[in-house]
Amino acid sequence: MNLLEGIRVLDLTNVLSGPFATLHLALAGADVIKIENPTDGDLARKLGCVPDFNKKLMGTSFLAQNANKRSLTLNLKQPEAKEIFKKLVAKSDIVVENFRPDVMKRLGLSYEVLSGINPKLIYCGISGFGQTGPDALKPAYDQIIQGLSGEMAINGDERLHPLRAGFPICDTVGGLNAAFAIMGALYYRERTGEGQFIDVALLDSIMPLMGWVVANWMIGQQHPVLMGNENFTAAPSGVFRTKDCYINIAANKQEQWEALADLIGTPELKTDPRFQERDARKKNRVELTPLLEAKLTQREGAFWVDEFNKNGIPAGLILSLEEALMQPQVTHRNAFNKVNVKGVGELELFNLTAKFSKTPGEVTAPPPLLGEHTDQLLEELGYGAAEISKLREDKVI
């Protein structure tokens, strides 16, 4: 039995935040029906680094977020399509969308309308700024939210600032927040029988992730300091040069600092007033780093990482993306599953990252072709072949 077996999700989402949320539900075993416009579907189908896949409406961005889902095309501006959608709502548990807050209302498919059809329905609306407020109707993309949240302002250093994260962090975190909220709402419904509306904003979702930095300002009135790869809570903690590469060291505890000083052959630094205590080291990190690197650059990074970890000092190599994906620990954790996608070939896609002992979640079906399951789903609703043909002729599907 799967974790969410028997749960049906109607997924109206596009690009990343919504599809990332529903991907987690799909990997956990929910029946996720991706409802797409008949013309070209989810915009992510055209986004990716392989032009041929984009032309096939199977862009790499789409492939990454849509395994284990079924695709149904519906032109929701047409009355017949709205009727089909409402029939699905009556038999579903969850609706997820990431339109602007006014779109579903204009389509006549608001939560108020849909909950009238199915009072147990859990409806999650994901948007940039939330369903209400002065900015609610503004368009929002990940980088816009990164800038407005303060996230870009605390990245980088004095040379490179402001600086965006290297992946769409706000969209991704918003999707995780939505998946978490939906699971909570399912638990509440299990106890009460009641559905509810969930309002997830990307701006709300990213801000708590900066909790330590926010607390320093709101409680201690300390502005964020641009420190690049340094850790503002401790020293030596950050990126350091070795003979052949850079490595991360996190000597965050006093005993770790003292062990490091001994291991690299600088025991005198332990009693140097500039570095003896934690707060002194933080204040004098600019002077400390070159003293450490003078020793670290005498040996290869792999040597130091091994030595430090053996002696209780957290350290690690800084890997390329390719190296990171191929490392033995990732393989051991069964991070990926292979799946064959028609017209694309065999792919490795991420499994559910939480490891459940009784209900593991993994990729079992490829991301769907646009409208791949339309006929199947309409047949499940009781539509005959002639009716489906007429709906296709009328461009409803």
Task: Give the CB-side neighbour count of residue 196, counting CA atoms within 13 A.
Answer: 16
Which residues, at least 6 apart from 87, have a Cβ–Cβ distance to it below 8 Å? 381
Catalytic residue among 171, 204, 272, 279: 171
Which residues, at least 6 apart from 260, have a Cβ–Cβ distance to it below 8 Å? 236, 249, 251, 292, 308, 313
CA dihedral 294→159→257→321, nearest 10 degrees, is -90
Cβ atoms of 98 and 382 closer than 8 Å: no
Single-letter residue type at 133:
G
- Smallest Cα–Cα separation from 63: which of 341, 364, 390? 341
Largest CA distance in the chain: 86
Sheet holding 246-250, edge to edge: 237-241, 246-250, 315-317
CA distance 129 to 206: 11
Single-letter residue type at 149:
S
Establish whether 11 is a catalytic residue.
no
DSSP sequence for 149-214: HTTGGGSS-SSS-S---SS-HHHHHHHHHHHHHHHHHHHHHHHH---EEEEEEHHHHHGGGGHHHH
Indicate which residues carry an active-site annotation.
171
